[in-house]
Amino acid sequence: MSRRALTLLVAGFLTLALAVGGAMLPVPYVVLSPGPTENTIGDVKGKPVITVTGHETYPTTGMLSMVTVAYQGGPGNRIGLLTALRGWLDDTIAVVPEETIFPREQTVEEVEEENTAEMATSQETSTAAALRELKIAYQNVVEVASTDKGSPAEGKLLPGDIITSVDGTPATGMEAVAAAVRKHTPGDDVTFGVDRKGAKQDVTVKTVKGPDGQAIVGVRMGMSYKFPFAVNISVGDVGGPSAGLMFSLGIYDKLTPGPLTGGKAIAGTGTMDGEGNVGAIGGIEQKMVGAKKAGATIFLTPSANCPAAAAAVPAGLRLVKVDTLNGAIKAIDAIRTGSGSVPACTS
């Protein structure tokens, strides 16, 4: 072999090796793709997604499916450049910077824990919204989420404590509790009525001056609920709050006679608060693809997500705009009966 041919061969081999090696290099991106789709009025692995105990339920049919987004990559498990390039060429996949999913100030474990907590909260607020829509009474509960390190409340008010009163006045909500504390002069004592794992007691905490000069004790609160019967939601290893709307619809459907969908295949997404308001979510493009693959023909879309959804909707999938649980139910009723207006989700 001539020297020139040998040089070209070696150069070609090195170029190929560099190309292969470069394609395998880890990059700080995450691939988002359509994840599992589960029917909230159906079963997962033989177990109902929604189980109601202590209240009459009714048989139903059709689909009210929650949709998810799967991810690949992240700190400690980065994807290769070739995987990212494939994703950029696939319209059903999104490739986003790593910090979009995993903020630099959080570990992977912290992000996953946050997603799990958001799912648990979503199940609570979804149940509250459904019962509110059905005019079934329940209690709003102010719960201690955490206390600030070094604050007067640390060690006195414990995570999970239910605050029932402040200075003898019933606690009707987080803002009412905060306002009752702010009425004090910094340095005053404030007495919390607390339900701690079923044991009622008074806890006295000294206030201090907050950043705005008003009295604080350093407690962080959250809302929880006491329902008149048990609602259990089981979807496996899924996190985040975006299934809230579909949970509420599934609960509503099980607690009312006749199938809400009329047997139709409906999917959707959106967060849900205890008042029945639907909020925006991420990954709408991937969720629509997952819904279409699962056989859905109608997709309930938070109004804030409508522009992005309308620009990428798969053929054969009808987008319905929703802002509230009540509005979603009315839209489904109109679709089922063929009468009434159905809000369209447009760009």
Q: What is the CATH number of the domain that holds 169?
A: 2.30.42.10
Tell which of 182, 199, 226 closes a domain: 226
List Cβ neighbours of 2 (8 Å cut-off, separation of 6 or more).
Answer: none
- Domain co-membership, 88 together with 147: no
Catalytic residue among 156, 254, 287, 321: 287
Retrieve residue 6's tokens.
């040998």
- Domain co-membership, 129 together with 143: no
- Determine the average pLDDT of the residues in 40-54: 94
Give the pLDDT confidence score for residue 25 in this predicted structure: 64
CA distance 248 to 291: 18
Q: From the centroid of its chain, how far is CA 238?
A: 9
Whole-prediction pTM: 0.81
Number of domains in the chain: 2
CA distance 259 to 183: 51
CATH, residue 70: 3.30.230
Whether 8 shows a pLDDT value over 50: the answer reads no
CA distance 254 to 130: 10
Whether 176 shows a pLDDT value over 80: the answer reads yes
pLDDT bin (cut points 50, 70, 90) of residue 177 is: very high
Give the pLDDT confidence score for residue 90 in this predicted structure: 80
Phi, psi of 108 (to 5 degrees): -60, -40
**Alpha carbon separation from 244 to 12, 27, 61, 279 (Å, rounded):** 55, 33, 20, 9
Residues facing 266 on adjacent strands: 64, 298
Give the rounded percent of residues in the chain with a pLDDT score beyond 70.
93
Q: 216 exposed, middle or buried (CB, 10 Å; 0-12, 13-18, 19+)?
A: buried
- Per the listing, tokens 């990954």 go with 283
pLDDT per residue over 228-252, tens digit each?
Answer: 999 999 988 888 899 999 999 999 9
Tell which of 226, 246, 280 closes a domain: 226
- Domain co-membership, 110 together with 242: yes
Whether 3 shows a pLDDT value over 80: the answer reads no
> Is 287 labeled as catalytic in the residue annotation?
yes
User: Is residue 150 a part of any domain in this protein?
Assistant: yes
- Domain co-membership, 148 together with 109: no
Tell which of 181, 202, 226 closes a domain: 226
Helices then strands, counting H and E runs in the chain, come out as: 9, 22
- Domain co-membership, 199 together with 235: no
For residue 288, give its domain range. 30-134+230-337
Q: Max Cα separation, the chain?
A: 97
User: Is residue 25 a part of any domain in this protein?
Assistant: no
- Determine the average pLDDT of the residues in 256-261: 96
Say which amino acid occupies 117: A
User: Is residue 22 a part of any domain in this protein?
Assistant: no
pLDDT per residue over 288-329, tens digit each?
Answer: 999 999 999 999 999 999 999 999 999 999 999 999 999 999
User: Is residue 18 a part of any domain in this protein?
Assistant: no
- Domain co-membership, 241 together with 212: no
Give the pLDDT confidence score for residue 19 in this predicted structure: 44
CA distance from start to end of the chain: 64
- Per-residue burial over 58-79, b if 16 or more Cβ lie within 10 Å, else e, is eebebbbbbbbbebbbbbeebb
pLDDT bin (cut points 50, 70, 90) of residue 10 is: very low
- Domain co-membership, 112 together with 45: yes
User: Is residue 343 a part of any domain in this protein?
Assistant: no
Say which amino acid occupies 173: G
pLDDT per residue over 204-235, tens digit each?
Answer: 999 999 999 999 999 999 888 999 999 999 98
User: Is residue 17 a part of any domain in this protein?
Assistant: no
- Domain co-membership, 127 together with 151: no
Give the pLDDT confidence score for residue 48 in this predicted structure: 95
- Domain co-membership, 186 together with 259: no
Give the pLDDT confidence score for residue 87 in this predicted structure: 73
User: Is residue 171 a part of any domain in this protein?
Assistant: yes
- Domain co-membership, 111 together with 166: no
Give the pLDDT confidence score for residue 20 in this predicted structure: 45
Residues facing 141 on adjacent strands: 224
List Cβ neighbours of 315 (8 Å cut-off, separation of 6 or more).
Answer: none
Catalytic residue among 65, 122, 224, 242: 242
- Domain co-membership, 301 together with 325: yes
User: Is residue 287 a part of any domain in this protein?
Assistant: yes
- Domain co-membership, 184 together with 38: no
**Alpha carbon separation from 141 to 29, 273, 337 (Å, rounded):** 41, 14, 38
